[in-house]
Structure 1
Amino acid sequence: MKRRSDSKSKETVSQVEVNPVLSTVVSLDGREIEIHQLDADVALQYHQDAMDLVMEPEFERKLVRKIDWCLMPVIAALMSCQLMDKTTNSYASIMNLQKDLNMSDKEYSWVGSTFYFGYLIFQFPANLLLQKLPLSKTLGAAVMIWGVVLMCHAACTNAAGFLACRVILGVFEGFMNPAYVLLTSQWYRKSEQFMRACVWWGFQGFGTLLGAGIAYGLAVHRSGNYSFDSWRMLYIITGIITVVLGFVSLVHVPDLPVKAWFLNEKEKKYCVERVKGNQQGFGSHKFKRHQLLEAFQDPVLYLFFLYGMSYAIPNGGFTNFGSILLKGDFGFSTQNALLMGMPGGAIDIVFPISVAYLTYRFLNNNRLVSCIIVQIITIIGMCCLNFTSHRGSRLFGYLSFYMATSVSAGMVSVLSSNVAGSTKKVTMNTTYLVGYCVGNIIGPQTFISSQKPGYIGAKTAMLVSFAAGLLCIVSLLALYIHRNRIRDKKRAALGDKYQVPDTIAFADLTDIENPEFRYSL
């Protein structure tokens, strides 16, 4: 018995030596949490080198500009590709896709939905792989595979093969959004994240512009009897663009700021010090069950799920039936319906960036308030689409959907900055995108063929969805204000007795566990 006891004590000593306790922190709910070295954030190992760093504001501004110029063009280009790939269906639908594949209206409704089945099924594995493996390499490989799958659409000869391609495409496109949420939180301060999210999320609109331009060119200049259909060429062109940009991302975007090829040693230290203020670090590769459980006990998770679904129901309809609606309900010709995709793309680019600037300038960077204002404008637009007969007001209603891009960008930036703990962030990302998938599956099904060309049921679903989304945003704002007030009161009550552990910012604690964490509004 004594030998066993000695053996156990040696094992305990060995474990302590391998994974020592760096410090202990008391969470706001009274729990004592030990910060172990191996459980901490990846950024902790670089923290020691940056401890004595004195930040120079001018140098930091130049660094942020450098990061923007090196990262944002690639991220924006890939986000453009993502939306271009999705809206390709809408363009192809009025370029004889259904006729050539003998596809019924019901089967076409599933073209949009089946994509999100693949997206939904693989969402948690995708998020887990992004946590466990080098982030940029994993994303770049997924993008290149999705480009190849996109080109395979051109080889389809029936609806079943086409739908199978859509499912596989959804699997690999599912890596994109969670990867960029993680990248944004790694590279930028909380106060900087809304603008960057609006840039890369809003630049999906460039994909709409480019996709509409390519589709229009093919429809006009390949309108004769060609052995290779124009819609097939559309998928091949967009697929090639995606593969090329995926390779650029693979070799250009670093997995961590401290491994960036375009930064010198001083700039890398600044990146570590900058992310310290976020209380999130670079992320941990270790999966933590207690963070998973905490996420599901947090009402924020369900608000993000419901918002994701509320935005995606109209999104799923517009990306697959937008051109059909413009042609059938608004009376545009095929070519003009393709061109009418361009104003929406322009709104996608300009409006989110403008909203972000105005939020910084006049709303004290309160993203959720600006999201509420824009959401109300979108609801007014949906009312015009549903309840007015004038073509101009109905067209305003149709285009108001694209204004909601700035709201979704704001919510993505809130998810990036207001969720801490790597496993909890992965869980929140996954749940939000599951809601997004569910909405995109439902959206195309609201376009019932017996209701065309007006599709009154789909328009009503859009209005109800945006109203539900508004309730989610208001609830989230109220919850964050309440939590910040409670934390400030508890901190004030402790007074000088409270000491901040030096390693707390890199401890991979959740936003609930970390008493230093404050929710940005």
Structure 2
Amino acid sequence: MSNSSHEENKDGNYTVDVNSVDIDPIISTVVSLNGKRIEVHKNDADIAMQYIDDVTNFELDPAYEKKVLRKIDFALLPLIIGLMSCQLMDKTTNSYASIMGLQKSLNMSAKEYSWVGSSFYFGYLIFQYPANRMLQRLPLSKTLSFAVISWGIILMCHAACTNAAGFLVCRVFLGVFEGFMNPAYILLTSQWWRKEEQFMRTCIWWGMQGFGTILGAGIAYGLEVNRTGYHSFPSWKCIYIITGCITLFLGFISLIHIPDDPTKAWFLNEKDKLYVIERAKENQQGFGNQKFKWDQFKEAIIDPCTYIFFFYGMSYAIPNGGFTNFGSILLKGDFGFSTDKALLMNMPGGGIDIVFPFGVAIINYYIFNNQRLISCAIVNLIVVVGMCLLNFTKHKASKLVGYLSFYAATATSAGMCSTVSSNVAGNTKKIVVNMFYLVGYCTGNIIGPQTFQAKEAPGYSGAKAAMLVSFAVGSVLIISLYVIYYLRNKKKDKLVEEMGEKYAVPDNIAFADLTDIQNPAFRYSL
């Protein structure tokens, strides 16, 4: 076994001696869900193994654990929320700029504008594999910060564009660097919080992107009503410069603030770090492994859940791609709002983004016994009803309710992100499944703007029908995922029952970098 040591000093803090770690060839042999016997090697284990391996009789004090959790929440959530807000604000700038003179200024046709939204996700799609591999191989925080800083610079470059071609190039490169964001947030969530805590935290950071909608709409409205002062410099260009500066600022803050993994957290003492590691044991996941494991890659490829995540990502993103780029156009053309009122009408959606996911997380915890997939399915079905109102009613108020119901789907997408975080184990498998999910998300966002055909303006009936079908399909996919995970948990429980007294799982198997199928102690969160 390892020779590393952990000692408690007179102040109650733990010190970690990692210089004396001696790696053994094999920790244990386990039986996976599909009946295979797997040898667990220490040199393939998670980076957290060296910190926890020889810790014995270490029990969590609930009161102290709450203090550690508060430290984590206060240190990480505000910055992730800020980055998510910027991410959505930056993507919706097109929707605002489109009714503030962007198309006229760049001599952009309706067809070219449709490709403005899609081109962003081509960059996002093409760079998904390199982005995920870089997040696995390189320090997480530094890689994320580099991407955020690059994204802020490119966002400001939009204001320098003088034609549609240059603008489309900027959109592609913006997509490349924003492709780092969601995978990084999912990895951070799986590192720092317990499974039962992840849905709530994901709902908070995913839902608070609505603040970006409110701030972006407010900035655009302010520029629009005061544009008389910007004759020589179009107001739509100011949007990109302002949002780019905010993004750049947060990128530098992220670089110095977010640790690459919990064992390097500047805001935790040594005892706190051991608490974080011990808490992670319950997740049966670690903090990461830099090796690319082909057996985990193959498992991800043949796992049907991988493709459910892919198609769900697409089903959510088709409406998302449309609303992100055509929301303001729809409000102005179909609903009859003036330009400034159309900009302001984006704000209620941002408010729904903030409040609704958090409310769903609370209800999920207290009423549905933390079964997030049930909550996600119910919310998605509510959005299906909203899309029916948008498609089949003519009264302005009911159509507007249907339009705004789209923002409730933020809670569902947050739930699915947290499901990837908590239900996919094995670092390589998580990277691959995460990539499939985001490739589906990219594909849907590429398709979404193309459903808005100029010949169908201002009602865009085809686009509205596509949104309805997408949310209906998404609901079926979520229910299917619940059934698969429920049956897998039952099968694992049955295997344990059959083995009886022979069943034994090593204490530190949680940090052996096993997949959810390989690890007999792993249970799926429903």
Q: Structure 1 residues 185 and 288 mapped into 2: Cα distance closer, same or farther (>3 Å)?
A: same
Q: Structure 1 residues 314 and 116 mapped into 2: Cα distance closer, same or farther (>3 Å)?
A: same
Task: Quote the Cα distance in structure 2 between the aligned partners of 1:50 and 1:154.
Answer: 56
1:306 match: 311
1:14 match: none
1:142 aligns with 2:147: yes
2:12 match: none
SS in 2 for 1:38: helix
TM-fit CA distance, 1:21: 1.3
CA RMSD of aligned residues (A): 1.0
Task: Quote the Cα distance in structure 1 between the aligned partners of 2:448 and 2:59.
Answer: 52
1:255 match: 260
After superposition, residues 277-296 of structure 1 pair within 5 angstroms as: 277-296=282-301
1:82 match: 87
SS in 2 for 1:278: coil
Q: Which amino acid aligns with 1:152?
A: C
The alignment of Structure 1 onto Structure 2 pairs a total of residues equal to 505
**TM-score normalised by the chain length of structure 1:** 0.96
SS in 1 for 2:38: strand
Task: Quote the Cα distance in structure 2 between the aligned partners of 1:269 and 1:26.
Answer: 28
2:418 match: 413
Instruction: Tell whether the 8 Å contact from 1:22 to 1:37 is kept in structure 2 after alignment.
Output: yes
1:95 match: 100
Q: Structure 1 residues 492 and 168 mapped into 2: Cα distance closer, same or farther (>3 Å)?
A: same
Match among 156, 163, 168 for residue 151 of structure 1: 156
Q: Which amino acid aligns with 1:350?
A: V
Task: Quote the Cα distance in structure 2 between the aligned partners of 1:314 and 1:105.
Answer: 19
Match among 168, 188, 192 for residue 193 of structure 2: 188
SS in 2 for 1:283: coil
Q: Which amino acid aligns with 2:328?
A: S
- Could you tell me which runs of 5 or more consecutive residues in structure 2 were left unpaired when the two chains were aligned: 1-21
Task: Quote the Cα distance in structure 1 between the aligned partners of 2:344 and 2:188.
Answer: 34
1:378 aligns with 2:383: yes
Task: Quote the Cα distance in structure 2 between the aligned partners of 1:348 and 1:31.
Answer: 44
**TM-score normalised by the chain length of structure 2:** 0.95
Task: Quote the Cα distance in structure 1 between the aligned partners of 2:322 and 2:509.
Answer: 45
TM-fit CA distance, 1:52: 2.9
Task: Quote the Cα distance in structure 1 between the aligned partners of 2:469 and 2:31.
Answer: 43
SS in 1 for 2:29: strand
1:505 aligns with 2:507: no
2:452 match: 447
1:244 match: 249
2:14 match: none
Task: Quote the Cα distance in structure 1 between the aligned partners of 2:57 and 2:162.
Answer: 64
Q: Structure 1 residues 146 and 480 mapped into 2: Cα distance closer, same or farther (>3 Å)?
A: same
Task: Quote the Cα distance in structure 2 between the aligned partners of 1:19 and 1:95.
Answer: 64
1:470 match: 475
Task: Quote the Cα distance in structure 1 between the aligned partners of 2:117 and 2:245.
Answer: 21
1:173 match: 178
Q: Which amino acid aligns with 2:459?
A: G
Task: Quote the Cα distance in structure 2 between the aligned partners of 1:341 and 1:416.
Answer: 30
Match among 40, 43, 51 for residue 38 of structure 1: 43
TM-fit CA distance, 1:331: 0.2
Give a deviation string over 1:178-225, Cα, whole Å, max 9, x none.
001000000000000000000010011000000000000000112356
Q: Structure 1 residues 225 and 250 mapped into 2: Cα distance closer, same or farther (>3 Å)?
A: closer
1:56 match: 61
2:17 match: none
Task: Quote the Cα distance in structure 1 between the aligned partners of 2:56 and 2:417.
Answer: 31
Task: Quote the Cα distance in structure 2 between the aligned partners of 1:378 and 1:26.
Answer: 42
| Range that drifts further, 376-385 or 53-62 | 53-62
1:22 aligns with 2:27: yes
Match among 104, 113, 133 for residue 108 of structure 1: 113
Q: Which amino acid aligns with 2:125?
A: L
Task: Quote the Cα distance in structure 1 between the aligned partners of 2:400 and 2:334.
Answer: 10
Match among 104, 113, 128 for residue 123 of structure 1: 128
Q: Which amino acid aligns with 2:70?
A: R
1:207 aligns with 2:212: yes
Instruction: Tell whether the 8 Å contact from 1:41 to 1:283 is kept in structure 2 after alignment.
Output: yes
Give a deviation string over 1:17-51, Cα, whole Å, max 9, x none.
97611222222322221111111011101113643
Task: Quote the Cα distance in structure 1 between the aligned partners of 2:391 and 2:450.
Answer: 18
Instruction: Tell whether the 8 Å contact from 1:22 to 1:503 is kept in structure 2 after alignment.
Output: no
Q: Identical aligned pairs, as a percentage?
A: 68
Give a deviation string over 1:378-419, Cα, whole Å, max 9, x none.
000000000001111000000000000000000000110000
Q: Which amino acid aligns with 2:280?
A: V
1:487 match: 492
Instruction: Tell whether the 8 Å contact from 2:281 to 2:508 is kept in structure 1 after alignment.
Output: no
